[in-house]
Amino acid sequence: MLYLFLYPLHTSISVFNVFRYITFRTIYATLTAFLICFLLGPWAIRKLSYLQVGQYIREDGPKTHLKKAGTPTMGGALIITAILGSSLLWANLKNIYIWVVLGITAGFGLIGFIDDYLMQVKKQSMGLSARQKLLLQILIAFIGTVCLYLSPEFSTDVTFPFFKTFSPDLGVWYIPFAVFVIVGTSNAVNLTDGLDGLAIGPSIIAAVTYMVFCYVGGHYKIADYLQISYVAESGELAVFCGAMAGAGLGFLWFNAYPAQVFMGDVGSLSLGGALGTIAVITKQELLLVLVGGLFVIEALSVILQVGYFKLTHGRRIFRMAPLHHHFELKGWPEPKVIVRFWIIAIALSLVAISTLKLR
Ligand code: 57M
């Protein structure tokens, strides 16, 4: 909004020229989103506690979690408010990619909100069923992907990390592929959200990593120099990534061990949906396996555990899935699991960034 209103004034007041720069707006989008979460956090936590939106803790999980009963959840509503507020303020609102990623973030957040609301506020034993959630996610991701597919500049090529020239064109099949990436990421982040700060930490790391890819991939000269896919106008998404990273940092302030608030499905589904969408728009879909590597590892641990459990009629690979529960049950203190998983996420993101040169 500021870009549309203030940048045109640069002809008479030269200082407004600064609004032209994506880097400047990204930095301030990060700070704005951080401040929104940081300043509204205590009020939001009080409000959620007042509404008794307290987490129910399953008794079959690690016993160390029982003391978390009643921790307010649905803090993800604050994350979304900060991301949307900051992006609307600092991004160029004439950019189609900004609207697609905002739409999917808000849409997935709404699904999570309904689910959380039914369980936490209405105290129903079940929120939306797994099937209802999945269908709604597919629907929203499909609408977003079709908008991208119909926009004239958007390419349906898939780029492979480490390969310079191999980028097959999927044509119309790009739509189900992108829907799979977006919905899969959303659910992987949701599975990871089981320890204090465990989902938000790697989400911040992934947002910062994609911020780099948005900037270089949206800059014709740098993209040409690095020989990566140039996606015109995608640089603007760096502003969104900044807002996401800032909101994440502000939320982490309160979600850090011992957490004062959980994000709920409203947070985890929307953050995952946002990451998947950014990967799709920047043409770095497959790189998400590294950028969101921790989410992939957590999701794989569930797939392997459930598959093995069914095949062997009750035997397990891990003490409990997702993987963070396995280490908790092995006796690692919660903060140790969290910080070690963050370290893995940072290392994988560094490998992802190295693909800019290794190709
Ligand atoms: C949600 N939610 C947390 C909080 C958060 C298929 C199966 C593997 C699914 C999986 C599952 O349901 N995962 C998705 C994970 C829950 O957190 C709430 O949910 C929101 C995210 N959707 O924001 O509102 C609990 O996680 C803890 N937590 C924190 N700090 C945080 O910042 O400590 C969350 C955020 C909270 C709190 O304790 O209550 C969750 O874990 O429920 N299911 C599982 O993860 C279950 N695993 C399982 O059944 N494994 C079996 C299968 C796969 C064969 C096995 O390995 O044998 C476990 N979940 C729990 N207890 N809680 C089972 C035991």
Within 10 angstroms of residue 111's Cβ, the number of other Cβ atoms is 25
Do you find a cis peptide bond into 176, omega within 30 degrees of 0? no
Task: Give the residue from 154, 340, 190, 359 showing the smallest Cα distance to 271.
Answer: 190
Q: Whose CA is nearest to atom 20 of ligand 1?
A: 264
Parts of the chain with a pLDDT under 70: none
What pLDDT, on the 0 to 100 scale, is given for residue 7?
A: 85
Q: Whose CA is nearest to atom 26 of ligand 1?
A: 194
Q: Whose CA is nearest to atom 9 of ligand 1?
A: 191
Q: Residue 107 to residues 14, 147, 181, 274, 285: CA-CA distances in angstroms? A: 39, 14, 16, 10, 20
Q: Which residues contact 97 (CB under 8 A, 6 or more apart)?
A: 148, 233, 234, 236, 237, 281
Q: How close is the Cα of 40 to the center of ligand 1, in Å?
A: 27
Q: Whose CA is nearest to atom 22 of ligand 1?
A: 265
| 79 close to 251: Cβ distance less than 8 angstroms | yes
Q: Which atom of ligand 1 is nearest to the CA of 269?
A: 22
- Tokens 């690690």 found at: 62
Nearest-angstrom CA–CA distance, 97 and 262: 29
The DSSP bridge partners found for residue 54 are: 72
What pLDDT, on the 0 to 100 scale, is given for residue 92?
A: 96
> What residues does each domain of the chain span?
22-286
- Sort residue 192 into left (φ over 0), alpha (ψ -120 to 50) or beta: alpha
Task: Give the residue from 353, 8, 303 showing the smallest Cα distance to 162.
Answer: 353
What pLDDT, on the 0 to 100 scale, is given for residue 125?
A: 74
Q: How close is the Cα of 61 to the center of ligand 1, in Å?
A: 8
What pLDDT, on the 0 to 100 scale, is given for residue 234?
A: 93
What pLDDT, on the 0 to 100 scale, is given for residue 23?
A: 96
Nearest-angstrom CA–CA distance, 224 and 110: 39
Q: How close is the Cα of 73 to the center of ligand 1, in Å?
A: 13
Q: How close is the Cα of 184 to the center of ligand 1, in Å?
A: 17
Q: How close is the Cα of 339 to the center of ligand 1, in Å?
A: 18
What pLDDT, on the 0 to 100 scale, is given for residue 28?
A: 98
What pLDDT, on the 0 to 100 scale, is given for residue 123?
A: 79
What pLDDT, on the 0 to 100 scale, is given for residue 24?
A: 96
Q: Which atom of ligand 1 is nearest to the CA of 320?
A: 56
Q: How close is the Cα of 118 to the center of ligand 1, in Å?
A: 17
Q: Whose CA is nearest to atom 64 of ligand 1?
A: 61
Q: How close is the Cα of 194 to the center of ligand 1, in Å?
A: 5
Q: Which atom of ligand 1 is nearest to the CA of 200?
A: 32
Within 10 angstroms of residue 131's Cβ, the number of other Cβ atoms is 8
Task: Give the residue from 237, 233, 239 showing the smallest Cα distance to 219.
Answer: 233
Helices in the chain by DSSP H: which ranges?
2-6, 22-50, 76-90, 96-116, 130-150, 174-192, 200-217, 220-226, 237-255, 264-281, 288-291, 293-311, 323-329, 334-354
Mutate to test the pocket of ligand 1, among 48, 56, 58, 118 (most ligand atoms within 8 A of CB): 58
Q: Whose CA is nearest to atom 19 of ligand 1?
A: 264
Residue 54, SS3 per DSSP: strand
What pLDDT, on the 0 to 100 scale, is given for residue 120?
A: 83
Cα dihedral: 281, 291, 192, 182 (round 10): 20
- Lining ligand 1 with CB less than 6 A are 55, 57-58, 60-61, 65, 68, 73, 190-191, 193-196, 255, 259, 262-265, 268, 302, 305-306, 309, 316, 320-322
pLDDT digits (tens, 9 = 90+) for 297-350: 999 999 999 999 999 999 999 999 999 999 999 999 999 999 999 999 999 999
Rounded to the nearest angstrom, the gap between the alpha carbon of residue 206 and the centroid of all alpha carbons in its chain is 8
pTM score, two decimals?
0.96
Q: How close is the Cα of 332 to the center of ligand 1, in Å?
A: 17
